[in-house]
Structure 1
Amino acid sequence: MMPLLSVIVPARDEALALPQLLADLAPLRTAGAELILVDGGSQDATCDLARERVDRLLRSAPGRALQMNAGAAVARGDYLWFVHADTRIDTAAIRDLLDVLSQRPLWGRFDVRLSGDGLALRLIGTMISLRSRLTGVASGDQGIFVAREAFERLGGYADIPLMEDLDLSRRLKRLARPRCLHTALLTSSRRWERHGIWRTVLLMWRLRLAYYCGVSPHQLARAYHRGSRP
Protein backbone atom coordinates (compact mmCIF):
# COMPACT_ATOMS: atom_id res chain seq x y z
CA MET A 1 0.00 0.00 0.00
CA MET A 2 1.38 3.43 -0.96
CA PRO A 3 2.15 5.54 2.13
CA LEU A 4 0.20 8.77 2.54
CA LEU A 5 2.22 11.82 1.52
CA SER A 6 1.91 15.33 2.94
CA VAL A 7 3.49 18.11 0.87
CA ILE A 8 4.45 21.12 2.98
CA VAL A 9 5.15 24.44 1.26
CA PRO A 10 6.48 27.42 3.28
CA ALA A 11 5.74 30.71 1.54
CA ARG A 12 6.00 34.43 2.00
CA ASP A 13 5.11 36.93 -0.72
CA GLU A 14 5.27 34.27 -3.44
CA ALA A 15 2.22 35.31 -5.49
CA LEU A 16 4.24 35.25 -8.73
CA ALA A 17 5.81 31.81 -8.34
CA LEU A 18 3.28 29.91 -6.23
CA PRO A 19 0.54 29.33 -8.86
CA GLN A 20 3.00 27.43 -11.05
CA LEU A 21 4.04 25.15 -8.20
CA LEU A 22 0.43 24.50 -7.18
CA ALA A 23 -0.39 23.58 -10.78
CA ASP A 24 2.55 21.15 -10.79
CA LEU A 25 1.30 19.55 -7.56
CA ALA A 26 -2.39 19.39 -8.55
CA PRO A 27 -2.20 15.85 -10.05
CA LEU A 28 -0.45 14.59 -6.93
CA ARG A 29 -3.17 16.13 -4.76
CA THR A 30 -5.86 14.58 -6.96
CA ALA A 31 -4.18 11.21 -6.43
CA GLY A 32 -4.57 11.57 -2.67
CA ALA A 33 -1.58 13.51 -1.38
CA GLU A 34 -2.22 16.19 1.24
CA LEU A 35 -1.08 19.70 0.32
CA ILE A 36 -0.32 22.17 3.13
CA LEU A 37 0.75 25.76 2.60
CA VAL A 38 2.20 27.67 5.55
CA ASP A 39 2.26 31.42 5.04
CA GLY A 40 4.79 33.49 6.94
CA GLY A 41 3.05 36.86 6.80
CA SER A 42 2.63 37.59 3.10
CA GLN A 43 1.67 41.11 2.07
CA ASP A 44 0.70 40.06 -1.45
CA ALA A 45 -1.95 37.68 -2.82
CA THR A 46 -0.16 34.46 -1.79
CA CYS A 47 -2.94 33.27 0.53
CA ASP A 48 -5.76 34.22 -1.84
CA LEU A 49 -4.13 32.30 -4.67
CA ALA A 50 -3.59 29.21 -2.52
CA ARG A 51 -6.85 29.06 -0.62
CA GLU A 52 -8.81 26.85 -3.02
CA ARG A 53 -5.82 24.84 -4.18
CA VAL A 54 -4.49 23.37 -0.94
CA ASP A 55 -5.94 21.15 1.77
CA ARG A 56 -4.67 23.26 4.66
CA LEU A 57 -3.71 26.93 4.69
CA LEU A 58 -1.85 27.88 7.84
CA ARG A 59 -0.31 31.11 9.06
CA SER A 60 2.75 31.33 11.25
CA ALA A 61 5.55 33.68 12.20
CA PRO A 62 8.03 34.09 9.31
CA GLY A 63 10.95 31.72 9.04
CA ARG A 64 11.19 28.54 6.99
CA ALA A 65 11.98 26.30 9.97
CA LEU A 66 9.01 27.63 11.94
CA GLN A 67 6.70 27.39 8.94
CA MET A 68 7.73 23.87 7.99
CA ASN A 69 7.42 22.64 11.58
CA ALA A 70 3.95 24.19 11.74
CA GLY A 71 2.94 22.31 8.63
CA ALA A 72 4.43 19.05 9.88
CA ALA A 73 2.54 19.40 13.17
CA VAL A 74 -0.84 19.13 11.41
CA ALA A 75 0.18 16.82 8.55
CA ARG A 76 -1.46 13.41 8.32
CA GLY A 77 1.03 11.76 6.00
CA ASP A 78 3.40 8.88 6.66
CA TYR A 79 5.92 10.94 4.67
CA LEU A 80 6.55 14.68 4.68
CA TRP A 81 7.83 16.39 1.53
CA PHE A 82 9.13 19.93 2.03
CA VAL A 83 8.99 22.01 -1.16
CA HIS A 84 9.96 25.67 -1.55
CA ALA A 85 7.36 27.93 -3.14
CA ASP A 86 9.63 28.96 -6.03
CA THR A 87 10.19 25.35 -7.15
CA ARG A 88 8.87 23.70 -10.32
CA ILE A 89 8.14 19.97 -10.33
CA ASP A 90 7.62 17.87 -13.46
CA THR A 91 5.80 14.58 -13.86
CA ALA A 92 9.05 12.60 -13.83
CA ALA A 93 9.91 13.93 -10.37
CA ILE A 94 6.48 12.99 -9.02
CA ARG A 95 6.70 9.54 -10.59
CA ASP A 96 10.15 8.91 -9.13
CA LEU A 97 9.08 10.16 -5.70
CA LEU A 98 6.09 7.85 -5.57
CA ASP A 99 8.24 4.96 -6.71
CA VAL A 100 10.86 5.50 -4.03
CA LEU A 101 8.26 6.03 -1.30
CA SER A 102 6.82 2.61 -2.07
CA GLN A 103 10.20 1.26 -0.91
CA ARG A 104 9.80 2.99 2.48
CA PRO A 105 13.10 4.92 2.72
CA LEU A 106 13.94 6.90 5.84
CA TRP A 107 14.59 10.09 3.87
CA GLY A 108 15.89 11.46 0.63
CA ARG A 109 16.21 14.37 -1.77
CA PHE A 110 16.27 15.30 -5.46
CA ASP A 111 18.95 16.74 -7.67
CA VAL A 112 18.45 20.44 -8.43
CA ARG A 113 18.58 22.63 -11.51
CA LEU A 114 18.55 26.43 -11.54
CA SER A 115 15.94 28.17 -13.66
CA GLY A 116 18.12 30.76 -15.41
CA ASP A 117 19.91 30.42 -18.73
CA GLY A 118 23.63 30.08 -19.16
CA LEU A 119 26.41 27.61 -18.52
CA ALA A 120 27.32 29.05 -15.11
CA LEU A 121 23.88 28.39 -13.61
CA ARG A 122 23.75 24.89 -15.08
CA LEU A 123 27.18 24.20 -13.60
CA ILE A 124 26.11 25.46 -10.17
CA GLY A 125 23.08 23.16 -10.14
CA THR A 126 25.25 20.21 -11.15
CA MET A 127 27.79 20.97 -8.42
CA ILE A 128 25.08 21.34 -5.75
CA SER A 129 23.69 17.94 -6.70
CA LEU A 130 27.11 16.31 -6.78
CA ARG A 131 28.15 17.80 -3.45
CA SER A 132 24.94 16.56 -1.88
CA ARG A 133 25.42 13.09 -3.31
CA LEU A 134 28.95 12.89 -1.90
CA THR A 135 28.21 14.36 1.53
CA GLY A 136 24.70 13.04 2.17
CA VAL A 137 23.61 16.57 3.09
CA ALA A 138 20.75 18.29 1.27
CA SER A 139 19.61 21.87 0.84
CA GLY A 140 15.97 22.90 1.05
CA ASP A 141 15.87 23.54 -2.72
CA GLN A 142 16.34 19.80 -3.21
CA GLY A 143 12.90 18.89 -1.90
CA ILE A 144 13.76 16.90 1.21
CA PHE A 145 11.31 14.07 1.92
CA VAL A 146 11.35 12.20 5.22
CA ALA A 147 9.43 9.56 7.09
CA ARG A 148 7.20 11.29 9.59
CA GLU A 149 8.35 9.00 12.41
CA ALA A 150 12.01 9.94 11.84
CA PHE A 151 11.21 13.66 11.56
CA GLU A 152 9.32 13.60 14.85
CA ARG A 153 11.97 11.48 16.58
CA LEU A 154 14.57 14.15 15.76
CA GLY A 155 12.33 17.00 16.86
CA GLY A 156 11.83 18.42 13.36
CA TYR A 157 13.69 21.43 12.04
CA ALA A 158 15.83 23.34 14.50
CA ASP A 159 14.40 26.77 15.36
CA ILE A 160 17.14 28.69 13.56
CA PRO A 161 16.86 31.37 10.84
CA LEU A 162 19.34 29.79 8.41
CA MET A 163 20.97 26.41 7.73
CA GLU A 164 17.92 24.55 9.07
CA ASP A 165 18.09 22.22 6.06
CA LEU A 166 21.75 21.35 6.61
CA ASP A 167 21.13 20.82 10.32
CA LEU A 168 18.26 18.41 9.67
CA SER A 169 20.23 16.57 6.97
CA ARG A 170 23.19 16.04 9.27
CA ARG A 171 20.95 14.63 11.99
CA LEU A 172 19.07 12.39 9.54
CA LYS A 173 22.34 11.15 8.07
CA ARG A 174 23.23 9.68 11.45
CA LEU A 175 20.20 7.43 11.04
CA ALA A 176 20.63 6.59 7.34
CA ARG A 177 22.14 7.88 4.11
CA PRO A 178 19.58 9.69 1.95
CA ARG A 179 18.00 8.26 -1.16
CA CYS A 180 19.41 10.55 -3.82
CA LEU A 181 17.04 10.88 -6.76
CA HIS A 182 18.70 11.89 -10.02
CA THR A 183 15.52 13.63 -11.18
CA ALA A 184 16.01 17.38 -10.83
CA LEU A 185 13.67 19.91 -9.31
CA LEU A 186 13.78 23.31 -10.97
CA THR A 187 14.45 26.09 -8.47
CA SER A 188 14.47 29.83 -9.05
CA SER A 189 17.83 31.41 -9.82
CA ARG A 190 16.55 34.87 -8.85
CA ARG A 191 18.98 35.38 -5.97
CA TRP A 192 22.01 34.45 -8.10
CA GLU A 193 20.84 36.75 -10.90
CA ARG A 194 19.91 39.63 -8.61
CA HIS A 195 23.10 39.67 -6.57
CA GLY A 196 25.56 38.26 -9.09
CA ILE A 197 26.22 34.59 -9.78
CA TRP A 198 29.77 34.19 -8.49
CA ARG A 199 29.31 36.71 -5.69
CA THR A 200 26.39 34.62 -4.44
CA VAL A 201 28.33 31.37 -4.77
CA LEU A 202 31.21 32.79 -2.72
CA LEU A 203 28.81 34.13 -0.09
CA MET A 204 27.11 30.73 0.27
CA TRP A 205 30.44 28.95 0.62
CA ARG A 206 31.60 31.44 3.27
CA LEU A 207 28.34 30.96 5.18
CA ARG A 208 28.60 27.17 5.03
CA LEU A 209 32.20 27.23 6.19
CA ALA A 210 31.33 29.58 9.03
CA TYR A 211 28.41 27.33 10.01
CA TYR A 212 30.62 24.24 10.11
CA CYS A 213 33.10 26.22 12.21
CA GLY A 214 30.40 26.95 14.78
CA VAL A 215 29.23 30.48 13.91
CA SER A 216 25.67 31.12 15.14
CA PRO A 217 22.95 30.69 12.48
CA HIS A 218 21.47 33.98 13.70
CA GLN A 219 24.72 35.75 12.82
CA LEU A 220 24.86 33.91 9.51
CA ALA A 221 21.31 34.97 8.68
CA ARG A 222 22.25 38.63 9.12
CA ALA A 223 25.22 38.12 6.79
CA TYR A 224 23.05 36.29 4.26
CA HIS A 225 20.49 39.06 4.06
CA ARG A 226 23.03 41.84 3.71
CA GLY A 227 25.23 39.78 1.37
CA SER A 228 28.45 40.29 3.33
CA ARG A 229 30.84 38.29 5.44
CA PRO A 230 29.49 36.72 8.67
Structure 2
Amino acid sequence: MISVIIPVLNEAAEIGQTLEEVLTGENLEVIVVDGGSQDKTVEIVQGYGEALSTPLRLLSSPAGRALQCNVGLQAAQGEWVLLLHGDTRVPRGFDVLMREVLRDEGVVAGAFELAVASPAWTLRLVEWGVRWRSRWLQFPYGDQGLFISRQRLLQLGGVPDLPLMEDFELVRRLRHLGKVAIAPVAVVTSARRWERLGVLRVLLLNQLIILSYFLGISPKRLAQWYHRRRG
Protein backbone atom coordinates (compact mmCIF):
# COMPACT_ATOMS: atom_id res chain seq x y z
CA MET A 1 0.00 0.00 0.00
CA ILE A 2 1.05 3.58 -0.66
CA SER A 3 0.46 6.26 1.97
CA VAL A 4 0.04 9.67 0.32
CA ILE A 5 0.82 12.39 2.88
CA ILE A 6 -0.33 15.90 1.97
CA PRO A 7 0.51 18.80 4.31
CA VAL A 8 -1.83 21.74 3.68
CA LEU A 9 -2.35 25.30 4.83
CA ASN A 10 -5.03 27.42 3.14
CA GLU A 11 -5.12 25.27 -0.01
CA ALA A 12 -8.84 25.60 -0.81
CA ALA A 13 -8.06 26.71 -4.36
CA GLU A 14 -5.95 23.64 -5.16
CA ILE A 15 -6.60 20.74 -2.79
CA GLY A 16 -9.73 19.47 -4.54
CA GLN A 17 -7.92 18.95 -7.84
CA THR A 18 -4.95 17.41 -6.03
CA LEU A 19 -7.22 14.88 -4.34
CA GLU A 20 -9.07 14.13 -7.58
CA GLU A 21 -5.84 12.96 -9.20
CA VAL A 22 -4.45 11.15 -6.16
CA LEU A 23 -7.63 9.15 -5.74
CA THR A 24 -7.21 7.59 -9.19
CA GLY A 25 -4.50 5.38 -7.67
CA GLU A 26 -5.05 1.89 -6.34
CA ASN A 27 -4.19 0.30 -2.99
CA LEU A 28 -3.45 3.52 -1.18
CA GLU A 29 -4.46 5.65 1.76
CA VAL A 30 -4.51 9.43 1.75
CA ILE A 31 -3.52 11.41 4.84
CA VAL A 32 -4.10 15.17 4.72
CA VAL A 33 -2.46 17.09 7.57
CA ASP A 34 -3.87 20.57 8.04
CA GLY A 35 -1.69 23.24 9.63
CA GLY A 36 -4.52 25.53 10.75
CA SER A 37 -6.20 26.62 7.52
CA GLN A 38 -8.48 29.66 7.70
CA ASP A 39 -10.18 29.04 4.35
CA LYS A 40 -12.36 26.14 3.14
CA THR A 41 -9.52 23.57 2.96
CA VAL A 42 -10.80 21.42 5.82
CA GLU A 43 -14.37 21.39 4.52
CA ILE A 44 -13.23 20.37 1.04
CA VAL A 45 -11.10 17.50 2.36
CA GLN A 46 -13.92 16.33 4.63
CA GLY A 47 -16.24 16.28 1.63
CA TYR A 48 -13.93 13.96 -0.27
CA GLY A 49 -13.55 11.72 2.76
CA GLU A 50 -17.28 11.26 3.05
CA ALA A 51 -17.88 10.60 -0.65
CA LEU A 52 -15.13 8.12 -1.53
CA SER A 53 -14.24 4.58 -0.57
CA THR A 54 -10.45 5.14 -0.57
CA PRO A 55 -9.24 5.64 3.03
CA LEU A 56 -8.81 9.38 3.54
CA ARG A 57 -7.89 10.83 6.91
CA LEU A 58 -7.73 14.46 7.94
CA LEU A 59 -5.29 15.22 10.75
CA SER A 60 -4.30 18.51 12.33
CA SER A 61 -0.92 19.85 13.36
CA PRO A 62 0.84 23.13 14.04
CA ALA A 63 1.89 24.72 10.76
CA GLY A 64 5.18 23.66 9.21
CA ARG A 65 5.63 21.29 6.29
CA ALA A 66 8.18 19.05 8.03
CA LEU A 67 6.11 18.81 11.20
CA GLN A 68 2.92 18.12 9.25
CA CYS A 69 4.61 15.43 7.14
CA ASN A 70 5.91 13.73 10.27
CA VAL A 71 2.47 13.76 11.87
CA GLY A 72 1.19 12.03 8.74
CA LEU A 73 4.12 9.62 8.75
CA GLN A 74 3.33 8.46 12.28
CA ALA A 75 -0.22 7.68 11.20
CA ALA A 76 0.74 6.01 7.89
CA GLN A 77 0.41 2.28 7.38
CA GLY A 78 1.60 1.83 3.80
CA GLU A 79 4.83 0.20 2.70
CA TRP A 80 5.61 3.26 0.58
CA VAL A 81 5.14 6.96 1.35
CA LEU A 82 4.52 9.78 -1.14
CA LEU A 83 5.09 13.29 0.25
CA LEU A 84 2.96 15.58 -1.89
CA HIS A 85 2.37 19.33 -1.81
CA GLY A 86 -1.24 20.44 -1.61
CA ASP A 87 -1.03 22.36 -4.90
CA THR A 88 0.60 19.56 -6.91
CA ARG A 89 -1.26 17.08 -9.12
CA VAL A 90 0.08 13.59 -9.75
CA PRO A 91 -0.03 11.94 -13.21
CA ARG A 92 -2.39 9.09 -13.93
CA GLY A 93 -0.74 5.81 -13.03
CA PHE A 94 1.54 7.48 -10.50
CA ASP A 95 1.11 4.53 -8.14
CA VAL A 96 2.29 2.03 -10.76
CA LEU A 97 5.29 4.22 -11.62
CA MET A 98 6.26 4.57 -7.98
CA ARG A 99 6.28 0.83 -7.48
CA GLU A 100 8.32 0.29 -10.64
CA VAL A 101 10.95 2.85 -9.62
CA LEU A 102 11.28 1.56 -6.06
CA ARG A 103 11.54 -2.04 -7.20
CA ASP A 104 15.16 -1.36 -8.23
CA GLU A 105 17.36 -2.49 -5.31
CA GLY A 106 19.83 0.36 -5.91
CA VAL A 107 17.12 3.02 -5.58
CA VAL A 108 16.49 4.45 -2.11
CA ALA A 109 13.89 7.04 -3.11
CA GLY A 110 12.31 8.69 -6.10
CA ALA A 111 10.46 11.71 -7.40
CA PHE A 112 8.67 12.83 -10.54
CA GLU A 113 9.66 15.36 -13.16
CA LEU A 114 8.08 18.79 -12.77
CA ALA A 115 5.63 20.71 -14.93
CA VAL A 116 4.25 24.14 -14.00
CA ALA A 117 0.61 24.93 -14.74
CA SER A 118 1.25 27.95 -16.94
CA PRO A 119 1.80 28.58 -20.68
CA ALA A 120 4.60 31.09 -19.97
CA TRP A 121 7.76 30.23 -21.93
CA THR A 122 9.94 31.31 -19.00
CA LEU A 123 8.49 28.46 -16.96
CA ARG A 124 9.52 26.00 -19.66
CA LEU A 125 13.08 27.08 -18.83
CA VAL A 126 12.37 26.42 -15.16
CA GLU A 127 11.13 22.93 -16.03
CA TRP A 128 14.26 22.28 -18.09
CA GLY A 129 16.46 23.36 -15.17
CA VAL A 130 14.54 21.11 -12.77
CA ARG A 131 14.88 18.17 -15.17
CA TRP A 132 18.64 18.72 -15.44
CA ARG A 133 19.10 19.06 -11.67
CA SER A 134 16.94 16.04 -10.91
CA ARG A 135 18.35 13.61 -13.45
CA TRP A 136 22.01 14.55 -13.51
CA LEU A 137 22.50 15.61 -9.90
CA GLN A 138 19.84 13.31 -8.42
CA PHE A 139 18.49 16.30 -6.48
CA PRO A 140 14.71 16.67 -6.78
CA TYR A 141 12.85 19.07 -4.51
CA GLY A 142 9.67 18.55 -2.52
CA ASP A 143 7.33 19.99 -5.15
CA GLN A 144 8.24 17.01 -7.36
CA GLY A 145 6.56 14.51 -5.02
CA LEU A 146 9.23 12.62 -3.07
CA PHE A 147 8.55 8.92 -2.49
CA ILE A 148 10.35 6.43 -0.29
CA SER A 149 9.72 3.35 1.80
CA ARG A 150 8.01 4.21 5.06
CA GLN A 151 10.47 2.11 7.04
CA ARG A 152 13.49 3.87 5.54
CA LEU A 153 11.99 7.29 6.23
CA LEU A 154 11.33 6.29 9.84
CA GLN A 155 14.90 5.02 10.15
CA LEU A 156 16.12 8.44 8.99
CA GLY A 157 14.08 10.05 11.75
CA GLY A 158 11.36 11.26 9.40
CA VAL A 159 11.45 14.49 7.44
CA PRO A 160 14.17 16.75 8.94
CA ASP A 161 12.51 19.03 11.47
CA LEU A 162 13.45 22.33 9.84
CA PRO A 163 11.30 25.41 9.18
CA LEU A 164 12.77 25.62 5.66
CA MET A 165 14.95 23.39 3.44
CA GLU A 166 13.46 20.22 4.91
CA ASP A 167 13.08 18.60 1.49
CA PHE A 168 16.60 19.68 0.44
CA GLU A 169 18.12 18.17 3.59
CA LEU A 170 16.08 14.96 3.25
CA VAL A 171 17.33 14.42 -0.30
CA ARG A 172 20.92 15.15 0.81
CA ARG A 173 20.66 12.38 3.38
CA LEU A 174 19.07 9.97 0.93
CA ARG A 175 21.82 10.50 -1.66
CA HIS A 176 24.34 9.13 0.84
CA LEU A 177 22.38 5.87 0.92
CA GLY A 178 21.86 5.19 -2.78
CA LYS A 179 20.24 6.43 -5.96
CA VAL A 180 17.40 8.95 -5.99
CA ALA A 181 15.56 8.05 -9.20
CA ILE A 182 13.27 10.21 -11.32
CA ALA A 183 10.09 8.75 -12.79
CA PRO A 184 9.75 9.65 -16.51
CA VAL A 185 6.50 11.61 -16.10
CA ALA A 186 5.73 14.93 -14.43
CA VAL A 187 3.61 16.13 -11.58
CA VAL A 188 1.92 19.46 -12.32
CA THR A 189 2.35 22.18 -9.73
CA SER A 190 0.65 25.55 -9.38
CA ALA A 191 2.32 28.54 -11.01
CA ARG A 192 1.11 30.96 -8.34
CA ARG A 193 4.51 31.48 -6.71
CA TRP A 194 6.19 32.39 -10.01
CA GLU A 195 3.24 34.51 -11.11
CA ARG A 196 3.17 36.46 -7.86
CA LEU A 197 6.90 37.11 -7.50
CA GLY A 198 8.22 36.70 -11.04
CA VAL A 199 10.33 33.85 -12.39
CA LEU A 200 13.70 35.58 -12.03
CA ARG A 201 12.99 36.67 -8.47
CA VAL A 202 11.94 33.15 -7.44
CA LEU A 203 15.05 31.61 -8.99
CA LEU A 204 17.37 34.13 -7.34
CA LEU A 205 15.60 33.75 -4.00
CA ASN A 206 15.94 29.96 -4.13
CA GLN A 207 19.64 30.10 -4.97
CA LEU A 208 20.33 32.63 -2.21
CA ILE A 209 18.56 30.41 0.30
CA ILE A 210 20.59 27.35 -0.77
CA LEU A 211 23.88 29.27 -0.67
CA SER A 212 23.07 30.71 2.76
CA TYR A 213 22.16 27.24 4.04
CA PHE A 214 25.54 25.87 2.92
CA LEU A 215 27.25 28.85 4.60
CA GLY A 216 25.72 27.79 7.90
CA ILE A 217 22.94 30.34 8.39
CA SER A 218 20.26 28.76 10.56
CA PRO A 219 17.11 27.44 8.85
CA LYS A 220 15.00 29.46 11.31
CA ARG A 221 16.64 32.70 10.26
CA LEU A 222 16.42 31.70 6.60
CA ALA A 223 12.72 30.93 6.95
CA GLN A 224 12.04 34.36 8.45
CA TRP A 225 13.96 36.07 5.66
CA TYR A 226 12.35 33.89 2.96
CA HIS A 227 8.78 34.55 4.06
CA ARG A 228 9.39 38.30 4.26
CA ARG A 229 10.70 38.30 0.68
CA ARG A 230 7.78 36.22 -0.55
CA GLY A 231 5.30 38.64 0.93
Same-fold call, TM > 0.5?
yes
Moved more, 153-162 or 104-113: 104-113
Give the deviation of 1:206 after TM superposition: 0.8
- Equivalent positions of 1:1-16 (< 5 A) are 4-16=1-13
The residue that corresponds to 1:78 in the other structure is 79
- Structure 2 CA distance for aligned equivalents of residues 137 and 47 of structure 1: 32
- From 152, 155, 165, the equivalent of 2:154 is 152
| Structure 2: unaligned runs, 5 residues or longer | 50-55
Number of corresponding residues: 223
2:19 paired residue number = 22
Separation in 2 of the partners of 1:205 and 1:107? Answer: 24
**Sequence identity percentage:** 39
- Per the normalisation by structure 2, the TM-score is 0.91
Counterpart amino acid of residue 153 in structure 1: Q
How far apart are the structure 2 equivalents of 1:198 and 1:133? Answer: 23
Cα deviation digits, residues 15-65 of structure 1 (max 9, x gap): 11000011111221xx22010000000011111111143421100000000
Task: Work out which of the residue numbers 120, 132, 136 in structure 2 matches 1:118.
Answer: 120
Residue 67 of structure 1: aligned partner: 68
Gaps of 5+ in 1: none
Alpha-carbon separation, structure 2, partners of 1:59 and 1:164 = 19
Q: Is the 8 A contact 1:86 1:188 kept in 2?
A: yes
Quote the offset at 1:203 in angstroms. Answer: 0.9
Q: 2:173 aligns with which of 154, 171, 174?
A: 171
Aligned-residue CA RMSD in angstroms? 1.5
Cα distance in 1 for partners of 2:216, 2:193 equals: 25
1:85 counterpart letter in structure 2: G
What is the identity, as a one-letter code, of the residue corresponding to 1:69?
N
Tell me the TM-score normalized by structure 1.
0.92
Q: Is the 8 A contact 1:92 1:183 kept in 2?
A: no
The aligned counterpart of 1:109 is 111
**Corresponding residue to 1:40 among 26, 35, 41:** 35
Measured after TM superposition, the shift of residue 93 of structure 1 is 3.5
Secondary structure in 1 matching 2:131: helix
* DSSP-derived class of the 2:24 partner: helix
Range moving further from structure 2, 138-147 or 101-110: 101-110
Are 2:102 and 2:108, in contact at CA under 8 Å, matched by a contact in 1? no
Local SS of the residue matching 1:227: helix
Once residues 197 and 170 of structure 2 are traced to their aligned partners in structure 1, the CA distance between those partners, rounded to angstroms, is 27
Whether contact under 8 Å (1:66, 1:159) holds in the other structure is yes
| Counterpart Cα distance in 2 of 1:59 and 1:142 | 23
CA displacement at 1:67 relative to structure 2: 0.3
Q: CA deviation at 1:118?
A: 1.5
Query: What residue number does 1:224 align with?
Result: 226
Is the 2:22–2:89 Cα contact (8 Å) retained in structure 1?
Answer: no
| Pair 1:180 & 2:182 matched | yes
Of residues 143, 146, 149 in structure 1, which corresponds to 2:145? 143
* Residue 48 of structure 2, aligned match among 53, 75, 79: 53
